[in-house]
Amino acid sequence: MFVDIAKIFIKAGDGGDGAVAFHREKYVASGGPDGGDGGRGGNIVFVADDNLSTLADFRYKRKYVAQKGENGRGGRCNGKKAEDLVIRVPRGTLIKEVNSGRILADISDKEPVIVAKGGKGGWGNTHFATPTRQTPRFSKPGQPGEEYEVQLELKLLADVGIVGFPNVGKSTLISVVSEAKPIIANYHFTTITPVLGVVRMGPESSFVMADIPGLIEGAGDGVGLGHQFLRHVERCRLLVHVVDVSGSEGRDPKEDFRIINDELKKFNPELAERPMIVAGNKCDLTEDEVVDDFRQFIEEQGYKFFPIMAAIAYDVKPLLQEIQEQLSKLPPITRYEAEPAPVLSEDEIGKQEVKVTNHGGVYFVEADWLLRVLRMIDFSDTDSLQYFQRVLISSGVIEALKNAGIQEGDTVSLYDFEFEFVE
C-alpha cells in the first residue's frame, strides 16, 4: 500500500546529570569537588533514503525516543554523549509539527537533518566551587531533550508532473520516454501510486518525470484519493496535462481540461500559475478536424499543444524537447525552509508552574516551558533580553524566587544560563 502521510512522536534524549563528588587521595588534604558533567542526550536525526518510496513503515512504529546522556562521575569524568537516533525516510519528506503546523525540516538533500536536539548534560559540582563555597554538595540535572508530535508528508521530487483524467495515457507516456515500468491496462486507476521515471535527453542531460495517478472531479476537495495525489504535484516545476482528444470514453476533452485545471487551483492556487504543456493523446482514434479544433482551444488559453500517440511513441520527441527547453529556464525544484518557533507573548505565557530550589545560595529554576523560551533567546541582543525579563515577571518566575527567599546579589541558575538577582 502506498502511504504518503504518517504521524509519529519523536523525543531527543535527556542530558545526563552532573555528579556530586569530592577528590579523595592519600596525603592530599581537602581535595575539593571533582564531580564531572553529564553527557549530552542523543539527537533525533532524519536522513533521506532513496531505497524507500513510501512512509508505510511508520504505520507500525509511531514512537521514537533517543538515548539519555550518561551521568557524570567523580574524578572530573564527564558522562558519555548518547548516540543519535537516525530515522530514514524517502527523499522529499516534509516534517511538520502537528500542533502548530510549522515546518521543521524538508528531507530533500543527502545531508542528515537534526529535527529534535538532545538535552545538554548537567554541570557537576566542580562548576559551583567559589572562594566562599568550597564544598558545594549539589550539581545540575541534565536538560530534557526536545520532543514533538510530527506529521511526515511525502512530496515527490520531480521536475515534471503528468496530470490528467484516469485512462488518458499518462502511464503509457512515462513508460515510453523513461525506464519506468508502471502497470498499464484499459481500466481506471490502473496506477494507484505515483511513478517516477528519469528521461535521458543526452550526455549529462536528463530530468525526472512523475506519473500522478488519475485525478477526478472533486479531487481538490479530497474526493477519492485527490489530496494524496495532488500533494505530489506541488514540487513539480512544470506540468504536462495529458488529454484524450478522441473522447474515447464519452467525455468532452475540453471539459476534461477545464475540470483538471480547476481541481489543481482548488488544492493550491499556485498550481494554476505553474507552467503547463498540453499533450493531446489518442489522436489516431479521431479526425484531424477534432484535433485541430482542440489545438485552437488550447492555444487560445496561452498553452503549447502537442498531439501524440503515446502507445507507439509517435511525435513524443518534440514534446520532450519542449519540456527540456522550458525546464532550462525555470527555477530549481521547490525546497521548504524550516520555520522558527513562534515567540510567545506575555499574555500567552500567563502564570506557569515553576520549581525553585536553593542550594548553598544558588537558586535553581526548573520548568519545561521555560527551557523552550530559553532556546529562542539571543542574550547578546538587547530587545531579546528585555523580552526575556518580561517573561520572567509575567510567568511568575520572579515571584517564585522571592517566595523562596532570594536576596539581591544571589545567583539564579536557569539550566545553562546564570545571572545575579537584582531587585
The one-digit pLDDT tens for each residue of the chain (423 residues) are: 456 789 999 999 999 999 999 888 776 666 788 899 999 999 999 999 988 888 888 988 999 999 999 999 988 899 999 999 999 999 999 999 998 889 999 999 889 999 999 999 988 988 888 777 778 888 888 888 999 999 999 888 889 988 888 888 888 899 899 887 755 555 444 445 677 888 998 887 889 988 887 565 544 444 444 446 677 788 889 999 999 999 888 889 999 999 888 888 888 888 888 899 999 999 988 899 999 999 999 999 999 999 999 989 899 999 999 999 999 999 888 888 888 776 666 565 666 678 888 887 788 888 777 777 777 777 778 888 888 888 888 888 888 888 888 888 888 888 777 788 877
Is the distance from CB of 412 to CB of 406 less than 8 angstroms? yes
The Cβ-side half-sphere exposure at 206, using a 13 Å CA radius, reads 12
Q: Determine the structural domain holding residue 348 and report its residue range.
A: 344-423
Q: Domain check: are 148 and 165 in the same one?
A: no
- Note the pLDDT of residue 220: 43
332 domain-assigned: no
Q: Domain check: are 201 and 65 in the same one?
A: no
Q: Domain check: are 364 and 391 in the same one?
A: yes
Q: Which of 216, 206, 214 is nearest to 172 (CA)?
A: 214
Distance CA 407, CA 415 (A): 20
User: How far is C-alpha 387 from the chain's CA centre?
Assistant: 29
Q: Domain check: are 125 and 13 in the same one?
A: yes
Q: Domain check: are 359 and 256 in the same one?
A: no
Q: Domain check: are 146 and 177 in the same one?
A: no
Distance CA 34, CA 127 (A): 9
Grid cell digits, residue 51: 531505497
- Note the pLDDT of residue 391: 81
Is the distance from CB of 213 to CB of 165 less than 8 angstroms? no
**Cβ within 8 Å of residue 123, ≥6 positions away:** 18, 37, 139, 140, 416
261 domain-assigned: yes
- Note the pLDDT of residue 1: 42
Q: How far is CA 41 from CA 47, 108, 202, 370, in A?
A: 19, 26, 49, 19
Q: Domain check: are 183 and 44 in the same one?
A: no
**Cβ within 8 Å of residue 362, ≥6 positions away:** 128, 138, 410, 411, 412, 413
123 domain-assigned: yes
Q: Domain check: are 291 and 269 in the same one?
A: yes
333 domain-assigned: no
Q: Domain check: are 38 and 127 in the same one?
A: yes
Residue finishing a domain among 282, 301, 327: 327
Grid cell digits, residue 114: 537534526
Tell me if residue 403 falls in helix, strand or coil: helix
Residue finishing a domain among 96, 131, 154: 154
Residue finishing a domain among 327, 359, 392: 327
Is the distance from CB of 153 to CB of 266 less than 8 angstroms? no
Counting the structural domains of the chain, the total is: 3
Q: Domain check: are 49 and 149 in the same one?
A: yes
What is the CATH number for 19? 2.70.210.12
Q: Domain check: are 301 and 225 in the same one?
A: yes
Q: Domain check: are 144 and 167 in the same one?
A: no
